[in-house]
Amino acid sequence: MKLTLHTFLSLDGVMQGPGAVDEDRSGGFDRGGWLIPYGDEVMGEIVEGWFAKAGAILLGRTTYAMMQSYWSQISDGSNTANGLNNLPKYVATSTPLTPVWNDSTALTGDVVKQVEELKAKPGGELQIHGSCALARTLHQAGLIDEYRLLTFPVAVGTGKRLFTEDAPAYGFQLVESRVTSTGATYSALTPAPFQTGTAVIEDGSSAFSVD
Protein backbone atom coordinates (compact mmCIF):
# COMPACT_ATOMS: atom_id res chain seq x y z
CA MET A 1 0.00 0.00 0.00
CA LYS A 2 1.16 3.52 -0.74
CA LEU A 3 1.51 5.60 2.45
CA THR A 4 0.23 9.15 1.97
CA LEU A 5 0.05 12.03 4.44
CA HIS A 6 -2.74 14.61 4.32
CA THR A 7 -2.69 17.68 6.53
CA PHE A 8 -3.51 21.36 6.84
CA LEU A 9 -0.63 23.73 7.60
CA SER A 10 -0.30 27.39 8.48
CA LEU A 11 2.22 29.45 6.53
CA ASP A 12 4.69 29.03 9.39
CA GLY A 13 4.21 25.26 9.50
CA VAL A 14 1.73 24.75 12.36
CA MET A 15 -0.73 21.86 11.97
CA GLN A 16 -2.33 21.98 15.42
CA GLY A 17 -6.04 22.71 15.81
CA PRO A 18 -6.88 24.01 12.34
CA GLY A 19 -10.60 23.27 12.38
CA ALA A 20 -11.94 24.52 15.73
CA VAL A 21 -10.98 26.52 18.81
CA ASP A 22 -11.22 23.46 21.07
CA GLU A 23 -9.91 20.90 18.58
CA ASP A 24 -6.55 20.47 20.28
CA ARG A 25 -5.62 22.62 23.28
CA SER A 26 -2.69 20.46 24.36
CA GLY A 27 0.36 22.43 25.43
CA GLY A 28 -1.86 25.42 26.21
CA PHE A 29 -2.60 26.01 22.52
CA ASP A 30 -5.29 28.70 22.23
CA ARG A 31 -5.19 29.61 18.52
CA GLY A 32 -7.35 26.82 17.12
CA GLY A 33 -9.70 27.29 14.19
CA TRP A 34 -7.21 29.24 12.09
CA LEU A 35 -8.23 27.71 8.75
CA ILE A 36 -11.95 28.48 9.09
CA PRO A 37 -11.83 31.90 7.33
CA TYR A 38 -10.07 30.29 4.36
CA GLY A 39 -12.34 27.35 3.56
CA ASP A 40 -13.96 27.27 0.11
CA GLU A 41 -15.29 24.91 -2.55
CA VAL A 42 -11.83 24.20 -3.95
CA MET A 43 -10.62 23.07 -0.53
CA GLY A 44 -13.62 20.75 -0.35
CA GLU A 45 -12.85 19.32 -3.79
CA ILE A 46 -9.24 18.66 -2.79
CA VAL A 47 -10.21 16.83 0.39
CA GLU A 48 -12.89 14.81 -1.42
CA GLY A 49 -10.24 13.85 -3.96
CA TRP A 50 -8.02 12.56 -1.18
CA PHE A 51 -10.61 10.18 0.19
CA ALA A 52 -11.55 8.95 -3.29
CA LYS A 53 -8.09 7.30 -3.39
CA ALA A 54 -8.13 5.82 0.10
CA GLY A 55 -7.92 2.09 0.79
CA ALA A 56 -7.41 2.39 4.55
CA ILE A 57 -7.02 5.14 7.15
CA LEU A 58 -4.19 5.53 9.65
CA LEU A 59 -4.68 7.86 12.63
CA GLY A 60 -3.11 8.83 15.92
CA ARG A 61 -5.24 8.22 18.98
CA THR A 62 -6.19 11.87 19.56
CA THR A 63 -7.16 12.45 15.94
CA TYR A 64 -9.07 9.17 15.90
CA ALA A 65 -11.17 10.19 18.90
CA MET A 66 -11.86 13.64 17.44
CA MET A 67 -12.84 12.33 14.01
CA GLN A 68 -14.92 9.49 15.40
CA SER A 69 -17.08 11.77 17.52
CA TYR A 70 -18.00 13.87 14.48
CA TRP A 71 -17.80 11.73 11.35
CA SER A 72 -19.53 8.65 12.79
CA GLN A 73 -22.67 10.82 12.85
CA ILE A 74 -22.35 11.94 9.20
CA SER A 75 -23.91 10.01 6.31
CA ASP A 76 -24.01 12.60 3.54
CA GLY A 77 -22.70 10.34 0.78
CA SER A 78 -19.41 12.23 0.48
CA ASN A 79 -16.11 10.48 -0.15
CA THR A 80 -14.91 11.80 3.20
CA ALA A 81 -17.79 10.38 5.23
CA ASN A 82 -17.87 7.10 3.31
CA GLY A 83 -14.13 6.65 3.63
CA LEU A 84 -13.90 7.41 7.33
CA ASN A 85 -16.96 5.39 8.28
CA ASN A 86 -16.51 2.34 6.05
CA LEU A 87 -12.82 1.82 5.29
CA PRO A 88 -10.47 -0.07 7.62
CA LYS A 89 -8.99 2.25 10.24
CA TYR A 90 -5.76 1.73 12.14
CA VAL A 91 -5.12 3.66 15.35
CA ALA A 92 -1.57 4.16 16.66
CA THR A 93 -1.71 4.27 20.44
CA SER A 94 0.79 3.86 23.28
CA THR A 95 -1.89 2.91 25.82
CA PRO A 96 -4.67 0.28 25.68
CA LEU A 97 -7.58 1.24 23.46
CA THR A 98 -10.82 -0.51 22.61
CA PRO A 99 -11.78 0.99 19.22
CA VAL A 100 -15.43 2.00 18.94
CA TRP A 101 -15.58 3.09 15.28
CA ASN A 102 -16.55 0.63 12.54
CA ASP A 103 -13.66 -1.57 11.29
CA SER A 104 -11.01 -0.08 13.59
CA THR A 105 -7.85 -1.80 14.83
CA ALA A 106 -5.49 -0.53 17.52
CA LEU A 107 -1.75 -0.56 16.76
CA THR A 108 0.37 -0.81 19.91
CA GLY A 109 4.06 -1.42 20.37
CA ASP A 110 6.43 -0.69 17.48
CA VAL A 111 4.26 1.47 15.22
CA VAL A 112 6.98 1.89 12.58
CA LYS A 113 7.28 -1.88 12.15
CA GLN A 114 3.49 -2.28 12.03
CA VAL A 115 3.12 0.43 9.42
CA GLU A 116 5.86 -1.22 7.36
CA GLU A 117 3.80 -4.43 7.49
CA LEU A 118 0.65 -2.58 6.41
CA LYS A 119 2.52 -0.98 3.51
CA ALA A 120 3.58 -4.43 2.34
CA LYS A 121 -0.05 -5.46 1.86
CA PRO A 122 -1.78 -5.05 -1.52
CA GLY A 123 -4.50 -2.46 -1.93
CA GLY A 124 -5.07 1.25 -2.34
CA GLU A 125 -3.57 4.06 -0.31
CA LEU A 126 -2.95 3.90 3.41
CA GLN A 127 -3.77 7.50 4.33
CA ILE A 128 -2.64 9.44 7.39
CA HIS A 129 -4.87 12.42 8.18
CA GLY A 130 -3.60 14.99 10.68
CA SER A 131 -2.17 12.96 13.58
CA CYS A 132 0.86 15.16 14.20
CA ALA A 133 2.96 12.89 16.43
CA LEU A 134 2.35 9.85 14.22
CA ALA A 135 3.06 11.84 11.05
CA ARG A 136 6.36 13.11 12.48
CA THR A 137 7.40 9.59 13.49
CA LEU A 138 6.70 8.17 10.03
CA HIS A 139 8.34 11.16 8.35
CA GLN A 140 11.50 10.64 10.37
CA ALA A 141 11.41 6.92 9.54
CA GLY A 142 11.23 7.71 5.82
CA LEU A 143 8.03 5.74 5.29
CA ILE A 144 5.80 8.40 3.72
CA ASP A 145 5.51 8.03 -0.05
CA GLU A 146 3.58 11.24 -0.76
CA TYR A 147 2.88 14.40 1.22
CA ARG A 148 -0.39 16.22 0.44
CA LEU A 149 -0.28 19.60 2.13
CA LEU A 150 -2.86 22.40 2.16
CA THR A 151 -1.09 25.55 3.35
CA PHE A 152 -3.20 28.52 4.43
CA PRO A 153 -2.18 32.21 4.35
CA VAL A 154 -1.97 32.67 8.09
CA ALA A 155 0.95 32.59 10.55
CA VAL A 156 -0.12 31.00 13.83
CA GLY A 157 3.17 31.54 15.63
CA THR A 158 3.07 28.59 18.01
CA GLY A 159 1.85 25.03 18.01
CA LYS A 160 2.70 21.53 16.81
CA ARG A 161 4.65 21.30 13.57
CA LEU A 162 5.19 18.48 11.11
CA PHE A 163 8.74 19.52 10.19
CA THR A 164 10.71 19.98 13.39
CA GLU A 165 14.34 20.93 13.95
CA ASP A 166 15.37 17.32 14.57
CA ALA A 167 13.68 16.02 11.41
CA PRO A 168 15.82 14.61 8.58
CA ALA A 169 16.58 16.77 5.57
CA TYR A 170 14.48 16.03 2.49
CA GLY A 171 14.08 17.34 -1.00
CA PHE A 172 10.68 17.06 -2.66
CA GLN A 173 9.28 16.78 -6.15
CA LEU A 174 5.99 18.55 -6.86
CA VAL A 175 3.46 16.22 -8.51
CA GLU A 176 0.27 18.28 -8.18
CA SER A 177 -0.70 21.79 -7.10
CA ARG A 178 -3.73 24.06 -6.86
CA VAL A 179 -4.59 27.45 -5.41
CA THR A 180 -7.92 28.11 -3.69
CA SER A 181 -10.00 31.27 -3.98
CA THR A 182 -8.86 32.34 -0.49
CA GLY A 183 -5.15 32.00 -1.20
CA ALA A 184 -4.50 28.56 0.26
CA THR A 185 -2.01 26.50 -1.74
CA TYR A 186 -2.20 22.77 -2.26
CA SER A 187 0.98 20.80 -2.91
CA ALA A 188 1.32 17.07 -3.45
CA LEU A 189 4.98 16.13 -3.03
CA THR A 190 7.09 13.01 -3.26
CA PRO A 191 10.44 12.70 -1.43
CA ALA A 192 13.57 13.39 -3.45
CA PRO A 193 17.29 13.57 -2.61
CA PHE A 194 18.28 16.53 -0.48
CA GLN A 195 20.57 19.02 -2.24
CA THR A 196 22.32 22.18 -1.08
CA GLY A 197 23.41 25.25 -2.94
CA THR A 198 26.93 26.61 -2.66
CA ALA A 199 27.93 30.13 -3.55
CA VAL A 200 31.17 30.25 -5.52
CA ILE A 201 33.19 33.45 -5.91
CA GLU A 202 35.79 33.58 -8.67
CA ASP A 203 37.79 36.63 -9.82
CA GLY A 204 35.44 39.03 -8.09
CA SER A 205 32.29 37.51 -9.64
CA SER A 206 29.82 35.15 -8.07
CA ALA A 207 28.24 32.01 -9.43
CA PHE A 208 25.81 29.47 -8.02
CA SER A 209 26.35 25.76 -8.13
CA VAL A 210 24.31 22.85 -6.81
CA ASP A 211 26.16 20.12 -4.93
Please, what is the average pLDDT of the chain?
A: 91
Q: Which CATH class is domain 2-210?
A: alpha beta
Between 204 and 82, whose confidence is greater? Answer: 82
pTM: 0.90
Q: What is the pLDDT of residue 97?
A: 86
For the chain, what are the domain ranges?
A: 2-210
Q: Please say if the pLDDT value at position 206 is more than 50.
A: no
Confidence of residue 198 (pLDDT cuts 50, 70, 90): low
Split at pLDDT 50, 70, 90, the class of 5 is: very high
CA dist., res. 65 & res. 72, Å (int): 10
Residue 207 has pLDDT above 50, yes or no: no
Phi-psi region of 58 (alpha: psi -120 to 50; beta: other; left: phi over 0): beta
Distance CA 210, CA 143 (A): 27
pLDDT tens-digit readout, 137-192 = 999 999 999 999 999 999 999 999 999 888 888 899 999 999 999 999 999 999 99
Cα dihedral 78, 82, 85, 86, rounded to 10, equals 180
What b-and-e string marks burial along 27-45, b requiring 16 or more CB atoms within 10 Å of the CB?
eebebbebbeebbeebbee
Exposure string (b/e) for 172-193, b if CB count within 10 Å is 16 or more?
A: eeeeeeeebeeebebbbbebee
Pairing relationship of beta strands 146-152 and 185-192 according to DSSP bridges: antiparallel
pLDDT score, position 99:
85
